[in-house]
Every structure is written in C-alpha cells, then in structure tokens.
Amino acid sequence: MAVPARAHGPVSALALALTDIHKSFGDTRALDGATCHVRRGSIHALLGENGAGKTTLMRIAFGMIPADRGTYERSGRPVRFASERDSISAGIGMVHQHFMLIPAFTVAENVALGGHGRFRASDAVAAVRRVGEATGLALDPHARVADLPIGAQQRAEIVRALARNADTLILDEPTAVLTPSESEDLYRWMRRFAAAGGTVVLITHRVREALGVADDVTVLRRGRTVLTGAADALEENAVVAAIVGDALAADGAAPLDATDGPVVFALQGASVRDAAGRVRLRATDLVVRAGEVLGVLGVEGAGQRELLRVLAGRIAPTSGSVQRPATVGFVPEDRLEDAVIPEFTLTENLALAHAGTLRGRVDWAQEHRVAERVIAQYDVRAAGAEAAMRSLSGGNQQRFVVGRERHRAPQALVAENPTRGLDVRATARVLATIRELARAGQGAAVVYSTDLDEILALTRRIVVCFDGTVREVAPPADPTDRSPYARALVGADA
Ligand SMILES: Nc1ncnc2c1ncn2[C@@H]1O[C@H](COP(=O)(O)OP(=O)(O)OP(=O)(O)O)[C@@H](O)[C@H]1O
C-alpha cells in the first residue's frame, strides 16, 4: 500500500499513557493489566482478538467509563476524566465502531452539537469545509446524515472530532467500512496528521495494514498487553501469534468455481428505484447455482446494497422478477441497525430472527438452548445466552449474527462484509462457514465485501457493480491479476 514513509522525529512526551489498567463488567474481566503508551506525533496500532479489551481500554482513555484500577497520564500529567466532555476539552477525539451521529440532523448540525454549544451553525458549516479541505475528507455540510452511505457517515465522525480541535484521535476499526482506496486515503491523511504533531490510536484487525502505517504496535490478549514495540521491528507472524496466542490453523481452502447445479437465485430484468425515483439497480439478469459462492464487489452506492437486499428478500424489485429459495439467511453490513436489537438478550435476538414463523408461540427454553449452542459453536465471548446484545464486543456481536443465520440452516446465505470487525481466527471461521453452506446440499451464498482479497479467497465467480449495473468479470488467466476487477470497479471497459 502506497503511504508516505514514517516520520521518526524525536517524540517528547507521551500523548497517552495507560498503565496496568483493570476493568470488570460483572463477572467479565475485560481488562486485566493492560498497558498502552502512545507517543505524541505517532500512529499507534492497538491490536487483539474480538473481546481482547481494545475498545474498553480506549473508552477509558476517552473518559466514557472509569477504570477499576491503574494509572492514566495525558502528556505526562495524571488525569481522571469524569466524562467524554473532559477528554474532548483535553484534545482527545474518538470515532466509535458504531457511529454516534444523529441521523435526522445534517453533518454541520452534528458538528455544532458536538461542540456543546460552542459552535454556531454557520461556524459548523465552515468547520466542515475547513476540515474537508485540509484532510480530503470532503463532505456536504448540509447533507442529512441518514442519507449518507456508511463510509461517508464515518468521514463525518472524523470531521466532527477534528472540528473540535482534537490533537489525539482514537479510531475504532475505521477501515472496516471503507473501500481499499478510501482506506489508503485515510492512512495517508493519518500520516500527515501525525507528521504535523497529531497522535492517532488505530484499533484494527488488519495486521499487515497496521504494520504498514503505524509507528508503534500494542497487542492485547484477554485484557492484558502481550506485545508492544516499534512496527518496523515486528514480523507479521509474530504479531499474529501474539494476537491469537497459539498457532492459527491455516484455512488454505481453494476458492470455489462456478457450477452447473440447479438454480438457487435467478434475477430477470430486476431493477430497483429508491424513494426519490433514482435507479439504483438496472435491469439485472443473474443466476446463482447450487454449490456456488457469488462474490460481489462495488464501491459505495454502486448498486450492490440493493442487489443483496433483493436476493435476501428484504426489498422487492421495482420491475423484473426474482426467484429465491424459501429460506435465505442474511448478514447485513450494519448489524446494530438491521440485524439485532441491542437491548435484547442473545436468546431474544435469536427468537427475533424467525419471529415471523413462530406466530407468537416462542418456546423460550428451546431458544435459550439454541442460543447457547450458537455461543459455543461460534466461540462468542458473552456472559451467557441471557446477556444483553449490547454487552458484547462488536466482533462478538458479528459472530453471534453469523452463527444465528447459519444455525437456521437456510438454503442460501446473503452476506455484506461478513467479517467486518472480526479478528483473524474468527474471519477464517466465517469464510469456512460460507463455503460449507454453499457446498452442503443445494445451497449457495452471495457475499459482498470491500476486501478484494477476501472475495478472491472465497470464489472465482465474481460480479462487479458500477452505477447500478451488475457485470460478471471472468477469472483472469493469472489468478494474482487484480486489474480486471479494478477496471470494472471504476466502470472502465463497460
Ligand atoms: N458494557 C459492558 N458490559 C458487559 N461486558 C462488557 C461491556 N463492554 C465490554 N464488555 C466485555 O469486555 C470484553 C472486552 O470487550 P471489548 O469491546 O473491549 O473488546 P474488543 O477487543 O474491542 O473486541 P472487538 O474486536 O470484538 O471489538 C468482552 O468480553 C466484552 O463482552
């Protein structure tokens, strides 16, 4: 990845020094002696498996929750933030995995709110423009957040933090929702921000990218710091070993080919228009056969969202026809929005997924047993089946959703960025689950991912969406050649 070289200037004080931090939630020991020292003017990658405690540690750094024990210094001085307001005043900003913007408000209104009354609306509009120009994170200040695609919502979160003059930014898995080129832009921007004296804590699961962009790395495992050091002195394998704690079983499975099996999904001239009448998916013909995984690529707003929802049965095409199996599992991109109710327990969220077929008669003891099975099979770190969904880490919520959908033994699975927020081990497991489902019986899977490597590891049947048109890209003779996909993504050769 082409990002500017690291700046290795002298780094005087530590921007953040969290030492021997402990934190429990009830019986769950989230942090058990975690230490993270972040140099001013550096990018510091914070790595670890799902549930390792990364988010908890940074929520403490951001003043959202207090530590049970441990010391916290900001720029060499002990601090005790009572709330986010304190840490924001101290120049810290945090962009969460699940965005905190108010959807009904515009970008500028969200920035104004974030200033706790310090911003006037016109100042906020100017601040959005100023930050956009300085960072390349361009946004229409008057756009309603609800109308923005997920990547743009994230840009709005970053812009909001910068508009409040944060010099230390905590980004919780920022690239999970970005396309590869958007990620590169963000990394480039992070390097410039750090070179100008800013400090970034980057929570991520992408080890290679972390080593490429960060100055320093800290790895947490089960709430403890197990590795810390300069990124350029660390081997990728050593970092992965520190994250998982033991040898990782290589998935090693070959990508699946097209088959001539029975038809599982068929679209004929399927088009989708949005509420404003704009065409989102243009007269699409597509067949997915048993035994296949169809990989879907596309940049934001290219039509893949509508394509996947038509196949999953979440929306009907405005014209044309769709043939789909009776049972289709769906793993949507935004799990908190579309897949779960955070306040409900895992058991309740399990029952919810097939509430329509239960006709109000829920066997709660049975649902509880199934939830426990999903927890065990998918290694979901949770206090139990009666824990609230919101108490799980982001990656563990995703594991539960994938496990729940698979457990219903659907004939087909439709998934959007199914490994978003998952660590290396969980990612391998989800990819294996998708292959398994496609190979078992008469199944098939349709998977959209922003990660081309992930799609190429899964399948050789790939379609690319561009401006609402869905086009199949034949596998290139050289399997390492990415150029046909790159061209299709920008609508070249169409
Ligand atoms: N508010 C809470 N109530 C109960 N348990 C919690 C709460 N917040 C976090 N935990 C638990 O603490 C542990 C650490 O969670 P945390 O979110 O910090 O992990 P993470 O490393 O950020 O994981 P991920 O990569 O999946 O986001 C997990 O076992 C989680 O279930």
CA of 381 to the centre of ligand 1 (A): 9
Query: In testing the pocket of ligand 1, which one of 31, 55, 202, 336 has its CB within 8 Å of the most ligand atoms?
Result: 55
pLDDT for res 154: 83
CA of 55 to the centre of ligand 1 (A): 7
pLDDT single digits (tens) 400-447: 999 998 888 889 999 998 988 788 778 888 888 898 888 877 899 999
Bridge partners for 470 per DSSP: 465
Question: How many angstroms separate the CA atoms of 464 and 486, rounded?
Answer: 9
Mean pLDDT, to the nearest integer, of 274-289? Answer: 93
Structure tokens at 403: 């496990």
pLDDT for res 56: 96
Q: Which atom of ligand 1 is nearest to the CA of 383?
A: 31
Q: CB within 8 A of 187, min separation 6: which ones?
A: 1, 3, 175, 209, 212, 213
Q: Given a cut of 90, is residue 463 above it in pLDDT? A: yes
Flag the least confident range among 63-67, 112-116, 400-404: 112-116
Q: Which atom of ligand 1 is nearest to the CA of 223?
A: 14
CA of 310 to the centre of ligand 1 (A): 34
Ligand 1 pocket by C-beta < 6 Å: which residues? 25, 28, 30, 48, 50-56, 381, 391-396, 421
Mean pLDDT, to the nearest integer, of 20-47? Answer: 94
Q: Which atom of ligand 1 is nearest to the CA of 381?
A: 29
pLDDT for res 60: 97
Q: CB within 8 A of 212, min separation 6: which ones?
A: 1, 3, 187
Question: How many angstroms separate the CA atoms of 293 and 444, rounded?
Answer: 6
CA of 395 to the centre of ligand 1 (A): 9
Q: What is the DSSP letter of 459?
A: B
Q: Given a cut of 90, is residue 272 above it in pLDDT? A: yes
Strand ranges across the sheet with 319-323: 279-289, 263-273, 319-323
pLDDT for res 138: 83
CA of 279 to the centre of ligand 1 (A): 41
Structure tokens at 395: 């990656």
Structure tokens at 33: 């002696």
**Which bin fits 128, alpha (ψ -120 to 50), beta or left (φ > 0)?**
alpha
Q: Which atom of ligand 1 is nearest to the CA of 58?
A: 18
Mean pLDDT, to the nearest integer, of 183-191? Answer: 87
pTM: 0.66
Q: Given a cut of 50, is residue 192 above it in pLDDT? A: yes
Residue nearest to atom 31 of ligand 1 (CA): 392
